[in-house]
Amino acid sequence: MKSDISSKEDIQVFVNAFYKSMTSDDLVGHIFLDVMHVDWDHHLPKMYDFWEMLLLDGHSYKGAPMQPHLLVNQIVPLTKAHFEHWITLFTNTIDSLFEGPKAEEAKTKAYNIAQTWAYKFDYMNKLDKIR
């Protein structure tokens, strides 16, 4: 029986596992590892704060979540397929580690953000094509 997400330590566990599950030959991992050469010591603490804000009412996250994705999109246009793959990896990570209302909330929030961004990037990239 798995437990639910209930602390910042639990958030660290799923965030670490999520980014570890990415490989440079998959659609999304390739962007983190080969395109953006992400500095994990910088990225992971931001993601702990971000998820703490979404799930446990934390106030440490100070950032602009869309910003780095706009930069990524200039190098690799982000598509629905990227966001769908991101969601599959995220959902599988949560399901492998936790269960309960907070785990469901994490998946729902991630899904809703991914859907909104997928729509925005699709729209922006279509506009760019006809300009």
Annotated binding site: 42
**What is the end-to-end Cα distance of the chain in Å, rounded?**
54
Pick out the residues of the known binding site for heme: 42
Q: 1 or 93: whose CB is closer to ligand HEM?
A: 93
Which member of 17, 53, 97, 113 binds ligand HEM (CB under 6 A)? 113
Could you say which residues in the range 6-25 bind ligand HEM, by CB under 6 A? none
| 120 lines the binding site for ligand HEM (CB under 6 A) | no
Tell me 117's DSSP state: H
Cβ atoms within 10 Å of 88's Cβ, excluding its own? 13
Answer yes or no: are the C-beta atoms of 82 and 28 closer than 8 Å. yes
Could you say which residues in the range 35-94 bind ligand HEM, by CB under 6 A? 36, 38, 42-43, 46, 50, 63-65, 67-69, 72, 78, 82-83, 86
Helix (H) or strand (E) holding 69: helix 67-75
Going from the C-alpha of 57 to that of each of 7, 53, 89, 93, 123, the distances in angstroms are 11, 5, 24, 22, 31
Q: How many residues bind ligand HEM (CB under 6 A)?
A: 24
| 114 lines the binding site for ligand HEM (CB under 6 A) | yes
Across the chain, the runs of DSSP E, i.e. the strands, are none
The footprint of ligand HEM (CB under 6 A) covers 28, 31-32, 36, 38, 42-43, 46, 50, 63-65, 67-69, 72, 78, 82-83, 86, 110, 113-114, 117
